[in-house]
A and B are shown apart, each in its own frame.
Chain A
Amino acid sequence: MKKMKSLTFLFAMACVVLSACASQSKHSGNTGLAFSNLENAVIQTSDEGKYRVKLFSNTFPIPTNKIHSWTLQVETSDGKPVEDAMIRIHGGMPQHKHGFPTTARVEKYLGEGRYTIDGVKFSMPGSWQMRINIKEEQKLRRDRVVFKIDL
């Protein structure tokens, strides 16, 4: 019994170590790591709960001072892809009260509720916001989601 307890203790220790390792690798370096691909992308619900939105950068690490693109996946609250929505991108650095140095916009619909955001550029490291307005004309549905991006 004593042997069993000791083994359990050692197994628990190993689990703690592995968990710490996993946590460390996930959060080390650029805090934008969570955006590195669609599977790991952050999922956020829009302000009024109408959409669930995934967002990730197509370039990783997320660059500064370089134009690049992002991918957006939009689905309804019950998990259906949102097709052909009108999407507008705004944002900036709230700390400095300024916006993006470029005019990012959605120019390609990739299917299955996925859209490419082109022309994204961050002009300095720091805390950025990307505000995404989603509008479906025919369904008279619209909402907004805000992502925080720390560089």
Chain B
Amino acid sequence: MQYAPIITAILILFLGCSPLPERSSVSLPLEHQWTAAQIDLLSSLSINALPGSKDESNRFVGNQSAIDFGRKLFFDPRFSQNETISCSSCHQVDKHFTDGRATAKGLVETSRNAPTIVGASEHTWFFHDGRSDSLWSQATGPLENPLEHGGNRIQYALIVFNDNSLRKQYEEIFGLMPDISDNVRFPLMRVSVDDAAYKKHWKAMSLQDRVSITQIFVNMAKSIAAYETTLQPTTSRFDQYVNSLVKGEFDKAVSVYSSDEAAGLKLFIGKANCFICHNSPLFSDREFHNVNTPPRKGFDFDWGRYSGAQQVLKSEFNCRSEYNDAANKNCEELTYITTEKDETIGSMKTPGLRDVSKTGPYMHAGQYKTLAEVIEHYNDPPPLTYRVTDLFDIDLSKKEAEQLEKFLLSLDSIK
């Protein structure tokens, strides 16, 4: 008994250095049992952890007048060469802001799938190849892409200038529009920016006139981005499940999630290695990876980030542009961007997975119609199209593939 204090001290030391006791889910079916570390990891995917990033390059994010103006522009087909294509042509509300097509169709069919806009504001890079580094900069792209809206910024500025309602809204946000009524200096040309006559005229314009038009164009894009920033994912059953686990409400957790869904989640963060790239509350690491997606039949090999990195460095609207509203133009993503071939060839941005059941067809050119086909791609990849990939050997059984798909479906927003 004389050693009791020493023995007690040793016991205290043992207890003191033990890991924290795991939050107990051991009474639950095996699929629903999680360690404390796993619950922490699941919390990092919860919608509660969505940072709500503020784009400092666009001072109109959160400005209600800009949001309303941007919404109008987003749905207005006049902002295209033939006045039939709007942003909502490829980003349709009832299709979770996609178009349901394998590859998007503007004036003509493009070579890429239209990704959802919901949650887009949380990304660092935009387009599948990241050729824009802000949401507003992205919005300028399709408007002047000859394959998509196919018009030009003079045409768009004139539409706003000559529409009393739009002009009033614009001036409430950005101040008086410059006088662009002189149709010699500012001719209405419903042509793409590739048109020879348009290019000749643009080149001949004074610097001041070009700046006036471009400033209107940028303000329009920033308003569209302000509207798009309001489109955010909402709570899913996955979030309810994780929130219940975090609170230790295990009975509630089991009531909202099936064993197959929980098993699929275990595969997602474990054996299937999905979590490696599909992490964060968006289920995207916001980076670029080559996952050896074969070119769609009839399409050429897509160079992806290799060309996107070159383009964003040259973009007139990148982080270093005079139109960036940030007080401190840090631009470190551009400063340290890699253009190395092995890191970029065939790489595409990791898409988010929230509401993934509504955003098919999948991959950058809609190569797969169903989630089952996507899972099969990772489970049994096709021959390599480029020697560097981020694929893992995952070897899922049929049942495991089905469980993984069931988990993915649990990421749908609750109505």
Contact = CB atoms under 8 A, between A and B. Distances in A.
A25 B16 CA distance: 11
A14 B342 contact: no
A7 B286 CA distance: 59
B3 A99 contact: no
Interface string A43-70: 0000000000000000000001101000
Interface in A61-97: 64-65, 67, 92, 96-97
A102 B336 contact: yes
B287 A123 contact: yes
A101 B337 CA distance: 7
Contact of B390 (A7, A25, A124): A124
B388 A97 contact: yes
B163 interface: no
B299 interface: no
Given A21-B17, A102-B337, A124-B276, A10 B285 contact: no
Contact of B342 (A24, A64, A99, A103): A99
Interface residues of B, number: 33
A111 interface: no
Contacts of A97: 342, 387-388
B13 A126 contact: no
B13 A101 contact: no
A118 B336 contact: yes
A64 B338 CA distance: 16
Given A97-B342, A100-B343, A126 B3 contact: no
Contact of A124 (B287, B387, B388, B389): B287
Most chain B Cβ neighbours within 10 Å, of A7, A92, A123? A123
A102 B338 CA distance: 5
B276 A101 contact: no
A119 B3 contact: no
Nearest to B284: A65
B108 interface: no
Nearest to B387: A97
A10 B3 contact: yes
A9 to B, nearest CB: 10
B388 A123 contact: no
B287 A119 contact: no
A110 interface: no
A103 B13 CA distance: 46
B251 interface: no
Interface in A91-143: 92, 96-105, 118-119, 121, 123-126
A93 to B, nearest CB: 8
Given A20-B17, A100-B338, A119 B389 contact: no
A21 to B, nearest CB: 3
Interface in B274-301: 276-277, 279-280, 285-290
Nearest to B13: A17
Interface string B192-229: 00000000000000000000000000000000000000
A126 B276 CA distance: 8
B6 interface: yes
Contacts of B6: 7, 10, 14
A101 B343 contact: yes
Most chain B Cβ neighbours within 10 Å, of A20, A25, A98, A103? A98
Given A21-B16, A65-B285, A98 B280 contact: no
A14 B14 CA distance: 9
B336 A104 contact: yes
Given A101-B288, A123-B287, A25 B17 contact: yes
A65 B343 CA distance: 15
Interface in B225-280: 276-277, 279-280
Contact of B17 (A24, A104, A118): A24
A25 B17 CA distance: 8
Interface in B316-357: 332-333, 335-338, 340, 342-343
Contact of A121 (B9, B280, B290, B336): B336
Contacts of B383: none
B338 A99 contact: yes
A65 B336 contact: no
Interface string A18-39: 1011001100100000000000
A122 B306 CA distance: 18
B141 to A, nearest CB: 22
Contact of B13 (A21, A67, A92, A98): A21
12 contacts: A10-B10, A64-B285, A96-B390, A98-B290, A98-B342, A98-B390, A99-B343, A100-B343, A101-B338, A123-B285, A123-B287, A124-B285
**A-B pairs, 7 with minimum CB distance:** A119-B336, A21-B17, A102-B336, A123-B287, A17-B13, A124-B276, A97-B388
Given A10-B10, A103-B336, 14 more contacts: A14-B9, A18-B13, A21-B13, A65-B287, A96-B389, A98-B388, A98-B390, A102-B337, A105-B336, A123-B288, A124-B276, A124-B277, A124-B390, A125-B276
